[in-house]
Amino acid sequence: MPNAIIIGTGSYVPKKVLSNHHFERLGSTDTWIQENLGIKERRVVQGEMTSDLATEAARNALEAADLSPLDLDLIVLATATPDRPAPATACTIQENIGATRAVAFDISAVCSGALFAVSTACQYIESGMYRRVLVIGADTFSNITDWERRDAVFFGDGAGAIVLSATEEDRGFLKFELHSDGAGKEGFTVPAGGCENPTSPETIKQKLHCFQMDGRAVFETAIKVVPETILSILQSTGVGVEDIRYLLPHQPSIRILQEIARQVGLPWEKVKTNMDRYANTSGGTIPIVLDETWRSETFNPGDHLLFAAVGAGWTWGAALYKC
């Protein structure tokens, strides 16, 4: 059975920077946002679509992997902010980059989306069906944010991309552990725009096309399920926490990440974060933080990377990678 390895990564964020001071008129402060969430600034689109960010990230990743778009068998995009409800935004990206041989589809798991997309891609590679897969996580939450509410501080726009390849070598993704619990669907939701609550003048007036979040529920869920899943994947693979070179997590808030590291027994220096610059880019977080790490660090054969995410649904999971 082939293994799936990372052969290139890329990322892209929009040019416009929005600092915390922007939210002072809503009763928030730079100090509160930095201390509680770890965010100094975030990027927001100005007319660019999710597919535009994803296309740039994809091109960067293909260049790093030294592949042509025609080498790709499959493109999987994780997004909660597609360009359109239909068709899949992955098809637009396929057209943009000229990956005419590739199958393309979207995955919806919000902040866990990139992890779920990578795990899907790996199944295709390990089954032998495809050998070269592009996974992208991209979101433009600025499009579903009510800019008059204080929880506008949490998110930023961005995209990251990962090129996965089949190998016969003994390395790559060792294991995924994924979970969902639909009982948590009100914890983070966009109430309107689907068939449950179709778009109408009333849904627009009530801003039901913007996300609604129960911050306390997100916090309590994240600090319970993520450490549990990390400890479970380590136990089932026999890899010790001391063997982990880095944790590359989704980026919900600095307090959540610190609590996860504390419960798992992972030194904070081993946790990668870019919340200070980009905030929570939802599907983009893990591929962006991976791209930064992949380009700035040298890995030794046998180094272990741990990935973990939690998001709306609820959805959550972890993955273990051997370099």
Ligand X SMILES: CC(C)(COP(=O)(O)OP(=O)(O)OC[C@H]1O[C@@H](n2cnc3c(N)ncnc32)[C@H](O)[C@@H]1OP(=O)(O)O)[C@@H](O)C(=O)NCCC(=O)NCCS
Catalytic residue among 91, 111, 122, 210: 111
> Which one of 7, 17, 30, 32 is in contact with ligand X (CB under 6 A)?
32
DSSP three-state, residue 238: coil
204 contacts: CB under 8 Å, gap ≥ 6: none
Q: Which stretch binds ligand X (CB under 6 A): 85-93, 177-185, 211-219, 234-242?
A: 211-219
- 109 lies in the binding site for ligand X (CB under 6 A): no
Strands 304-311 and 315-322 come out as: antiparallel
Q: Which stretch binds ligand X (CB under 6 A): 138-146, 232-240, 252-260, 287-295?
A: 252-260
DSSP state of 314: T
State both tokens at 39: 């965010």
> Which one of 7, 175, 219, 259 is in contact with ligand X (CB under 6 A)?
219
Q: Considering only residues 133 through 152, tell me which ones interact with ligand X, judged by CB under 6 A.
A: 150
How many Cα atoms are found within 13 Å in the side-chain-facing hemisphere of 277? 12
- 252 lies in the binding site for ligand X (CB under 6 A): yes
> Which one of 11, 20, 28, 55 is in contact with ligand X (CB under 6 A)?
28
Number of residues that bind ligand X (CB under 6 A): 19
> Which one of 311, 319, 321, 322 is in contact with ligand X (CB under 6 A)?
311
Q: Which stretch binds ligand X (CB under 6 A): 64-72, 240-248, 250-258, 295-303?
A: 250-258
- 173 lies in the binding site for ligand X (CB under 6 A): no
Q: What does the per-residue mask of binding to ligand X show for 45-64, with x meaning CB under 6 A? A: --------------------
- 218 lies in the binding site for ligand X (CB under 6 A): yes
For residues 136 and 287, the answer to whether their CB atoms sit within 8 Å is: yes
CA 322 to chain centre: 20
Tell me whether residue 55 or residue 282 sits nearer to ligand X (CB atom).
282
User: What Å distances lie between residue 1 and 38, 55, 130, 303, CA to CA?
Assistant: 42, 31, 12, 22
For residues 297 and 262, the answer to whether their CB atoms sit within 8 Å is: no
H-only helix segments in the chain? 30-37, 50-65, 89-97, 113-127, 201-205, 215-237, 254-264, 275-278, 285-296
Confirm whether 179 is a catalytic residue: no
> Which one of 198, 216, 242, 296 is in contact with ligand X (CB under 6 A)?
216
Confirm whether 111 is a catalytic residue: yes
DSSP state of 12: E
- 253 lies in the binding site for ligand X (CB under 6 A): yes
CA geometry: angle 133, 54, 146, nearest 5 deg? 135
- Alpha carbon distance 204, 193 (integer Å): 9
Tell me whether residue 134 or residue 248 sits nearer to ligand X (CB atom).
248
Tell me whether residue 9 or residue 20 sits nearer to ligand X (CB atom).
20
- 280 lies in the binding site for ligand X (CB under 6 A): yes
**Helix orientation angle between 254-264 and 215-237, rounded to the nearest 10 degrees:** 30
Q: Which stretch binds ligand X (CB under 6 A): 2-10, 156-164, 210-218, 297-305?
A: 210-218
Nearest to 134 by CA among 113, 163, 159, 105: 163
- 154 lies in the binding site for ligand X (CB under 6 A): yes
Catalytic residue among 3, 20, 210, 250: 250
Q: In the chain, what is the straight-line distance between the N-terminal and C-terminal CA atoms, in Å?
A: 18
Q: Residue numbers of the site for ligand X (CB under 6 A)?
A: 28, 32, 36, 111, 150, 153-154, 188, 213, 215-216, 218-219, 252-253, 255-256, 280, 311
Q: Which residues belong to the active site?
A: 111, 250, 280
